[in-house]
Structure 1
Amino acid sequence: MNRNIRKVAVIGSGVMGSRIACHFAGIGVQVLLLDIAPAALTDAEAAKGLQLTDKQVRNRIVNDALQATVKSKPSAVYTKAVAARINTGNIDDDLPKIADCDWILEAVVERLDIKQQLFEKIERYRRPGTLITTNTSGIPIHLMNEGRSEDFRKHFCGTHFFNPPRYLRLLEIIPGPDTDPKVLDFLTDYGSRHLGKITVLCKDTPAFIANRVGVFGFMAVFKAMQELGLNIDEIDSLTGTVMGRPKSATFRTGDVVGLDTLVMVAKNLPKNVPNDEAKDLFIVPPFIDTMLTNKWLGDKTGQGFYKMTKTRGADGQTKKEILTLDLDTMEYGPKKKTKFATIEAAKQLDDLKQRLGALYSGGDKAGEFYRRFHHLLFAYISNRVPEISDELYKIDDALRAGFGWDIGAFESWDALGVKRVLKKMTEAGMQVAPWVQQMLDAGITTFYKTEKGKRLYYDQRTKRYEPIPGAGVFILLEQLSENVVWRSSACKLYDIGDDVVALSWNTKMNTIGGEVLEGIQKAVTMAEERYKGLVIANSGPNFSAGANLGLVFMFAVEQEYDELDMAIRMFQSTTMRLRYSGIPVVVAPHGLTLGGGCELCLHADAVQAAAESYIGLVEVGVGLIPGGGGSKEMAVRAADRNIKEDIEVNYLQQLFINVGTAKVSTSAHEAFENFVLRPGHDAISVNLDRRIGDAKRKALLLWEQGYTQAAPRTDIKVQGRGGLGGLLAGVHGMWRGNYISDHDRLIAEKLAHVMCGGDLSQATTVSEQYLLDLEREAFLSLCGQKKTLERMQSILTSGKPLRN
């Protein structure tokens, strides 16, 4: 059966349901979102004379929930326009409409009786063969479909989205006893391909995989903290980014998730898994019970482990302060500064695996914490195989995608040395599963290895390495160390198969300096000589934070204008090398793609962006204009609009505003609205791990279609004074209204001068090089401004923009 998902029904519009609906709408699916009808009028409804039978009232709950979700921050939608794909209704009146849906997803309250009652109603209207899934974080799947028809049970399973579903990439799929394997295969592929998820097929065990191990991780931290006498601030300094976890660490994450949610899972596990060897660890500490009694549940109640206070100073300004809960006194106080020698030493190591080794070996209290925590974690995950998963890589996938860990638990054990750590755990009396020692006895010393570009994992059933599914679909450059065909101290060029190479670099925030520019030029040259296409992509949280601002600042402060001029020329020549290369170049950005990173995208033959790409030209924030071809390219794109001249000027104004306000797209979808990405040329990979594979296929397609190197353009029609007058009038109005400073006005005037082609008396046809020269001159002149230097210094020293 060729199954297509054209329309989805989401029943339950709470925090999860409405966000799941928005995520489906974001990928282009029509959504029917239903919830219960209210039992009573609000005061406002009564004042308007409305009745409970009015549609406005009956759909109030679902409409209010959807409206709140669309307005929420961080945004649950790629663009506000996607909400138009969501139709709302209520269960009593509109449930028959599910007959038109291809997938019915239940996301109501976590109560078995309520879910079972709803499923009975759904079966009256559901079309046979329609997918039916439940979003649950822990209710056993086999209990939910009791009494349902054979067709219902065959197409029913659990689909556990993690909140918020747009950003957290985990989708756990939990089969029921009668689920058709073809349904599981379809959902696994659909979740990965269309929803952008890391899909993990779970066993129907309590809390499934991610929550089972993730909540254990919380409890293990509590245990080690109490044994070592550490406080909340110390723990969050130990368990954040330094060890490859989200910056929210442990207790801030607890506040975001909600203490009641965390405790619900922790308390239910010992009841549901009485044979769990670590069940006593799930007994919540007394301070948790006190917080529950006080309703200090985290962000949802305004205070939890942390509390924000606002005070008004003598100057009349409101000051915010975050207070930390003292677990001994149960009173809030100022955050305490923390300092551990182990942390200070480890921070000097950029490689996470090396950093974990330094943390684990630390000689102070921090080092002891890391040893105790990791021993508890490693023992626990060893005993969960095969209970919750036959394949150990699924546990790591779930932790990375569901809890934001940079590397999984078994990967961490590999990094620290399996044999070395097991010896210490055995000495400490930890209960480690026998299969780990059996693996070592067989001469296999790691849980993972890479062989001929393929990622393999140790399978305790076959007692040998097996390939992780997805080879060929997911191209992860960090796993292709054997395929490096050229390297420098900053860059690596990988052969990713089918005569395509991929360039990546590893600098702080993946910024672009001279060595990276040389690497890009070298990659283009090598690709032209030996390959069919070039992909430019990076690993890590972000594609690139832009040009190396520190280098620009140094040249500007020392008034080395010749050096600065050479650096700008090199950047421009590199982006133009991408534009006019002899082979197709596809850039695959993700995360922050700012300034120079955006300019690489603007000059590629095509862009294959991850959905979570935040792209924009932000140079005005440091007192400059885009100098790597970005200002030129905005003028070119304005000229290429095949519309009337007066409207073309308005289009130019829009591009000018986007650059002049340093507008950054909040998603790759919004980058199309901002004219950074181009319909028909550029595309989006919802799944981050698919973008490089998708970019490779795009490069090959361009090659097979007969890619031909273009000639530099000399046919760009710029507006001259006609366009310049309109732009400067707008700038002057903003300045007179005190919306922008004197220096903002100067920067905007420079930008307008470039984008209009200079002070030309009429619309004129010019070359790209002409515009690049204007751009470079404006960039250099701004580097000589004191206020620009102050802005650059502020970003470099504090990371905060200065509006002077």
Structure 2
Amino acid sequence: MADGSVKKVCVIGAGTMGAGIAAQVANAGVPVLLLDIVRDPADRNAVARGAVEKMLKTDPAPFMGKGAARLVEVGNIEDDLARVAECDWVVEAIIEKLELKQDLYAKLEAVRKPGTAVSSNTSTIPLAQLTAGRSDAFKRDFLITHFFNPPRYMRLIEIVAGPESDPATVAKIRDFTDRVLGKTPVDAEDSPGFIANRIGTFWIQAAVNAAFDMGVSVEEADAIGGKPMGVPKTGVFGLIDLIGLDLMPYLQKSLTSTLPASDAYQQIARSEPLIERLIAEGYTGRKGKGGFYRLNREGGKKAKEAINLQTGEYAPQAKAPEISGPAGKGDLAALVALPGKTGAYAWAVLGPTLAYAASIVPEATRSVLGVDDAMKLGYNWKAGPFEMIDAFGPAALRASLAESGIPVPPILEAVGDGKFYRIENGKRQYFGLDGQYHDVVRPDGVLLLADIKLASKPLLKTASAALWDVGDGVVALEFTGKMNALDVEVMKLIEQAIPLVAEKYKALVVYNEGTHFSAGANLGLALFAVNIAAWSEIDKLIAGGQQAFKALKYAPFPVVAAPAGMALGGGCEIVLNSDAAQAHAETYIGLVEPGVGLIPGWGGCGEMLDRWRNMPRMPKGPMPAVGKVFEIVSTATVAKSAAEAKELGFLRHTDGVTMNRDRLLADAKARALAMAEGYMPPAPPEFRLPGPSGKAALDLAVQGFRARGLATPYDEVVAGKLATVLTGGDTDPTEVITEERMLELERIEFMHLVHESGTQARIEHMLATGKPLRN
């Protein structure tokens, strides 16, 4: 994945952030040297080595695969600093103390090779202070690269260049973090807190203040200020528990000490005795004994509790108030208009926060895009502040701010009766500081279906899928249902698409821009069919899915699957049936049907068998591949990255991996075009399987797991049906099993399970709770 401009990286500081940055560099296939101080003279590299060992045990995992960890070489600052000369980029991620950083830079200046980029991961110290006293040459190669925690999963990186920074060096690091590390670089100015943390800290402070002042409980505050505002469901108090209560005074001190007295944050920054007490008593959030929420284990029970902000005492966690209608679905004007303290609290948080976000342009960043990208990618807001202002209505927001005595920011005045974003001639435009609208320009190599949709209509469309022309003779098959679930409408579109693509286009990419590629078959419809005993409809769905997926597999053009996020069950099977995959690095893929009492029904069993029998170092014979696939599928194993998916066989070792989500469609399209010249469909596989003797061996293994408490009674039932399929039914190793026979076995055993009350209970439980039933 490395692009050649940065062949090796040195990260100095093996704390949570530094180690996480090193892990992400290694995830990208780039060697990294991780250095820290010497604490133990007997083991001088213990700090850095310990950080790597800890990450290998951490969940969620900083490493995408254990192979990545082998690219991290550990050392220490005293013995190994001269090895910085081997590296093209040095990332400093040590403690946030200016004098320590400056001391380190003086040492780096003596050992780094000319042109090596040096950056700080600081979130609080201005660049001008960091480089004070350094040479002109050092200043030219210096910048700030502020990653967000955890570095593997958070897409935002704020990049701050100084007036003396070499534009070429900054561009090289920006491009590397984008293409190779998978981040979205946002250019920030050298101002306190940069963008995301400055707005985020203000938002948190405003929400906490209002809750204390208005008598709003933490449960109420998080229900009002969470999902209805497009904020993650943690809300504010849940978020503070997640990041740590003890971080809040630190962030507050950092901003109050660097922001001018006139800044709006200075007017709301305050400490709360209750929060100070909680920190002192070790209630620092999830990493401590609890925080605003806690799990009380007294008396051997687990009781969820929340603190009363007025009394400081814990009580059983109250059910959060439900906000229904438009106010609960992103209509911000409707939310603040709700009667009583619900609307009043929503405004007390939303009004000042949106005004503050608008007020820091151009001081913190020169574009509304920078503000919106920073908050969406750094704080996981569904919409950025300026997008939220557009949803509220800029004119309406100005009026409400004036009525509340909150100063109206100049850019909010300047937009007048317009909005900050508009669609013009099929292009998205944003309102600039010059008072004009400008096209949103994507970086080279970024192709988004969202942009294509603004300027075109689908070639084909059903209730659950659409087909789009993405240029150069390539079309994209998009799932559009809830969670991108697969149903008869998807299969219908595949059936319609194949002759169209064969006649007029070169290749097809299976792709969408949902959070998840596909959660698999539509279980709700399946359960409905079960409840009315529409068995023939379920059988028709399974047969139709098999037919559609195999039609893609044997189409006269290449099919490239481009999964990202969850690709489960049927979502995994469409990837397995594609000619190739170009997967986002964060693809979580697996055949999870046993979790709902089923087995793969759309060709997953045969495709996995075919892959595993051709794996390097797989022993020959009918049983080894069968055993491995049985182990993976019966336990509903899900790969937690594209790298792990290759190890499990869900992806081929020849499949591509894209680190940056925004580049996935362009990469998949390029892969499809490269395959189109002289394309020939694959030959259908044939199998020699062990039959009843092999099934008996698998059944015996499951009985052993059940005896040890590792499998439930119904796990044994489901595993038995899976074993029948994988071992070929009533066959023996001398017979040839065709792909058609494998599909027939899948369908037969799938339908047997659908009739079982145990399967029906599992499906009902999954739909009701989102969790598997262990019956």
**TM-score higher than 0.5:** yes
Do the aligned residues in 2 keep the contact of 1:524 with 1:534 (CA within 8 Å)? Answer: no
Instruction: State the alpha-carbon separation in 2 of the partners of residues 755 and 121 from structure 1.
Output: 62
In the alignment of these two chains, the number of paired residues is: 771
Amino acid in structure 2 at the alignment position of 1:794: H
SS at match of 1:71: coil
Instruction: State the alpha-carbon separation in 1 of the partners of residues 576 and 166 from structure 2.
Output: 46
Q: Which residue pairs with 1:46 in the alignment?
A: none
Q: Which residue pairs with 2:590 in the alignment?
A: 616
Q: Which residue pairs with 2:678 in the alignment?
A: 706
- Paired residue for 1:334, among 290, 295, 316? 316
Do the aligned residues in 1 keep the contact of 2:156 with 2:374 (CA within 8 Å)? Answer: yes
Distance 1:402 1:454, change over 3 A: same
Instruction: State the alpha-carbon separation in 2 of the partners of residues 789 and 179 from structure 1.
Output: 63
Distance 1:436 1:520, change over 3 A: same
Q: Which residue pairs with 1:48 in the alignment?
A: none
Q: CA deviation at 1:721?
A: 4.6
Q: CA deviation at 1:642?
A: 7.7
Structure 1, unaligned runs of 5 or more: 42-51, 313-317
Amino acid in structure 2 at the alignment position of 1:788: T
Q: Which residue pairs with 1:155 in the alignment?
A: 141
Instruction: State the alpha-carbon separation in 1 of the partners of residues 700 and 562 from structure 2.
Output: 38
Q: CA deviation at 1:593?
A: 1.2
Q: Structure 1 residue 12 and structure 2 residue 13: aligned?
A: yes
Q: Structure 1 residue 324 and structure 2 residue 310: aligned?
A: no
Distance 1:513 1:358, change over 3 A: farther
Q: Which residue pairs with 2:731 in the alignment?
A: 760
Q: Structure 1 residue 216 and structure 2 residue 187: aligned?
A: no
Q: Residue deviations 1:209-237, cap 9 Å, x none?
A: 11111111112212332443211111111
- Paired residue for 1:297, among 284, 289, 306? 284
Q: Structure 1 residue 673 and structure 2 residue 647: aligned?
A: yes
Distance 1:310 1:205, change over 3 A: same
Q: Residue deviations 1:526-574, cap 9 Å, x none?
A: 3333322222223332121110112222323433221221111111112
Instruction: State the alpha-carbon separation in 2 of the partners of residues 802 and 469 from structure 1.
Output: 45
Do the aligned residues in 2 keep the contact of 1:267 with 1:284 (CA within 8 Å)? Answer: no
Distance 1:714 1:122, change over 3 A: closer
Amino acid in structure 2 at the alignment position of 1:679: H
- Paired residue for 1:266, among 252, 260, 267? 252
SS at match of 2:714: helix
Instruction: State the alpha-carbon separation in 2 of the partners of residues 766 and 410 from structure 1.
Output: 60
Do the aligned residues in 2 keep the contact of 1:10 with 1:33 (CA within 8 Å)? Answer: yes
Instruction: State the alpha-carbon separation in 1 of the partners of residues 481 and 228 from structure 2.
Output: 18
Worse overlay, 604-613 or 475-484: 475-484
Worse overlay, 448-457 or 257-266: 448-457
Instruction: State the alpha-carbon separation in 2 of the partners of residues 361 and 123 from structure 1.
Output: 58
Q: CA deviation at 1:739?
A: 3.1
The two structures have a TM-score, normalised by structure 1, of 0.91
Do the aligned residues in 1 keep the contact of 2:427 with 2:439 (CA within 8 Å)? Answer: no
Instruction: State the alpha-carbon separation in 2 of the partners of residues 379 and 521 from structure 1.
Output: 51
Instruction: State the alpha-carbon separation in 2 of the partners of residues 293 and 774 from structure 1.
Output: 63
SS at match of 1:166: coil
Worse overlay, 720-729 or 383-392: 720-729
Q: Structure 1 residue 132 and structure 2 residue 118: aligned?
A: yes
Instruction: State the alpha-carbon separation in 2 of the partners of residues 619 and 452 from structure 1.
Output: 45
- Paired residue for 1:309, among 282, 288, 296? 296
Q: Residue deviations 1:338-396, cap 9 Å, x none?
A: 325xx1224875xx5xx445424434432333333222122112211111111110011
Instruction: State the alpha-carbon separation in 2 of the partners of residues 412 and 497 from structure 1.
Output: 32
Aligned pairs for 1:413-428 within 5 A: 413-428=389-404
Instruction: State the alpha-carbon separation in 1 of the partners of residues 507 and 229 from structure 2.
Output: 37
Q: CA deviation at 1:792?
A: 1.5
Instruction: State the alpha-carbon separation in 2 of the partners of residues 644 and 98 from structure 1.
Output: 41
Distance 1:538 1:714, change over 3 A: closer
Q: CA deviation at 1:85?
A: 1.2
Do the aligned residues in 1 keep the contact of 2:5 with 2:172 (CA within 8 Å)? Answer: no
SS at match of 1:259: coil
Worse overlay, 395-404 or 64-73: 64-73
Instruction: State the alpha-carbon separation in 2 of the partners of residues 483 and 797 from structure 1.
Output: 38
Instruction: State the alpha-carbon separation in 2 of the partners of residues 155 and 419 from structure 1.
Output: 44
Q: Structure 1 residue 780 and structure 2 residue 751: aligned?
A: yes
Q: Which residue pairs with 1:371 in the alignment?
A: 347
Distance 1:421 1:252, change over 3 A: same
Amino acid in structure 2 at the alignment position of 1:369: Y
Instruction: State the alpha-carbon separation in 2 of the partners of residues 544 and 659 from structure 1.
Output: 18
Amino acid in structure 1 at the alignment position of 2:7: R
- Paired residue for 1:359, among 324, 330, 335? 335
- Paired residue for 2:269, among 274, 277, 282? 282
Q: Which residue pairs with 2:505 in the alignment?
A: 531
Q: Which residue pairs with 1:189 in the alignment?
A: 175
Instruction: State the alpha-carbon separation in 2 of the partners of residues 464 and 642 from structure 1.
Output: 56
Q: Which residue pairs with 1:80 in the alignment?
A: 66
Q: Which residue pairs with 1:27 in the alignment?
A: 28
Q: Residue deviations 1:756-777, cap 9 Å, x none?
A: 2222122432321111011000
Q: CA deviation at 1:658?
A: 0.3
Q: CA deviation at 1:325?
A: 1.6
Amino acid in structure 2 at the alignment position of 1:691: L
Instruction: State the alpha-carbon separation in 1 of the partners of residues 188 and 7 from structure 2.
Output: 26
Do the aligned residues in 2 keep the contact of 1:478 with 1:539 (CA within 8 Å)? Answer: no
Q: Which residue pairs with 2:489 in the alignment?
A: 515
Aligned pairs for 1:565-714 within 5 A: 565-641=539-615, 646=620, 649-680=623-654, 682-703=655-676, 705-710=677-682, 713=684
Instruction: State the alpha-carbon separation in 2 of the partners of residues 431 and 529 from structure 1.
Output: 61
Instruction: State the alpha-carbon separation in 1 of the partners of residues 495 and 338 from structure 2.
Output: 43
SS at match of 2:743: helix
Q: CA deviation at 1:472?
A: 5.4
Distance 1:763 1:202, change over 3 A: farther
What's the RMSD between the two structures over aligned residues? Answer: 2.3
Q: CA deviation at 1:594?
A: 0.8
Instruction: State the alpha-carbon separation in 2 of the partners of residues 373 and 228 from structure 1.
Output: 12
Q: Which residue pairs with 1:449 in the alignment?
A: 422
The two structures have a TM-score, normalised by structure 2, of 0.95
Distance 1:321 1:506, change over 3 A: farther
Do the aligned residues in 1 keep the contact of 2:622 with 2:690 (CA within 8 Å)? Answer: no
Do the aligned residues in 2 keep the contact of 1:457 with 1:468 (CA within 8 Å)? Answer: no
Q: Which residue pairs with 1:440 in the alignment?
A: 416
Percent identity over the alignment? 38
Instruction: State the alpha-carbon separation in 2 of the partners of residues 578 and 224 from structure 1.
Output: 56
Worse overlay, 163-172 or 414-423: 414-423
Structure 2, unaligned runs of 5 or more: none
Instruction: State the alpha-carbon separation in 2 of the partners of residues 642 and 338 from structure 1.
Output: 53
Instruction: State the alpha-carbon separation in 1 of the partners of residues 513 and 250 from structure 2.
Output: 36
Q: CA deviation at 1:452?
A: 4.8
Q: Which residue pairs with 1:750 in the alignment?
A: 721
Q: Which residue pairs with 1:44 in the alignment?
A: none
Q: CA deviation at 1:612?
A: 1.2
Instruction: State the alpha-carbon separation in 2 of the partners of residues 620 and 572 from structure 1.
Output: 18
Q: Which residue pairs with 1:37 in the alignment?
A: 38
